[in-house]
């Protein structure tokens, strides 16, 4: 299974990814985690190469995936589920500034040019506390894991 956690910078993608990973590890699921912030350019080419090198692995991918071409390319792999983390533009700018992330201009450009994906599940961190967003996302992931297990049998 491939879990993609995506959204604009500052929406809470990495926080949700880390929370999901904690839940998955606690329940003894084995997922390999990739944060696009840790990859060199071309970031998404490197990400796709890693996933393709181990197609039997479970993956938890954290990135913006703000371009439709990246969303389409990841969907070419089997058993992909996309979790979209959203927040309004001002919230993303403020959070990004608080964490000393990418430039404010970059956040604005990415947010304004974001190709919003056809997500399998969405959490809005303006409405939900991040902990609640993580819990709801994990509930959905559990249902996907049960469904995948049922299909395999």
pLDDT, tens digit, for every residue of 33-59? 999 999 999 999 999 999 999 999 999
pLDDT, tens digit, for every residue of 126-135? 999 989 999 9
If phi > 0 it is left, if psi is from -120 to 50 it is alpha, else beta; for residue 83 that is beta
pLDDT given for residue 152 in this prediction: 61
pLDDT given for residue 23 in this prediction: 97
What CA–CA distance (Å, rounded) separates 143 from 105? Answer: 38
Q: Is the pLDDT of residue 9 over 70?
A: yes
pLDDT given for residue 150 in this prediction: 72
Phi/psi of residue 83, nearest 5 degrees: -110, 120
pLDDT given for residue 149 in this prediction: 77
62-89 burial string, b = 16+ CB within 10 Å, else e? Answer: bbbbbeeebbebbeeeeebbbbbbbbee
Q: What is the pTM of this model?
A: 0.94
Sign of CA dihedral 52, 138, 7, 34: negative
pLDDT mean across residues, the chain: 95
Burial of 130 (0-12, 13-18, 19+ CB in 10 A): middle
If phi > 0 it is left, if psi is from -120 to 50 it is alpha, else beta; for residue 139 that is alpha
């Amino acid at each position: 299974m491939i879990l993609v956690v995506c959204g604009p910078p500052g929406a809470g993608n990495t926080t949700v990814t880390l929370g999901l990973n904690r839940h998955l590890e606690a329940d003894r699921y084995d997922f390999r985690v990739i944060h696009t912030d840790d990859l060199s350019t071309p970031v998404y080419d490197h990400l796709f190469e890693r996933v393709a090198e181990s197609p039997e692995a479970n993956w938890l991918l954290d990135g913006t995936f703000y371009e439709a071409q990246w969303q389409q390319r990841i969907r070419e792999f089997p058993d992909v589920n996309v979790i979209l983390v959203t927040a309004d533009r001002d919230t993303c700018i403020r959070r990004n500034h608080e964490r000393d992330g990418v430039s404010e201009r970059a956040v604005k450009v990415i947010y304004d040019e974001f190709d919003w994906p056809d997500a399998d599940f969405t959490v809005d961190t303006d409405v939900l506390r991040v902990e609640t967003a993580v819990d709801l996302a994990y509930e959905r992931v559990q249902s996907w894991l049960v469904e995948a297990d049922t299909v395999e049998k």
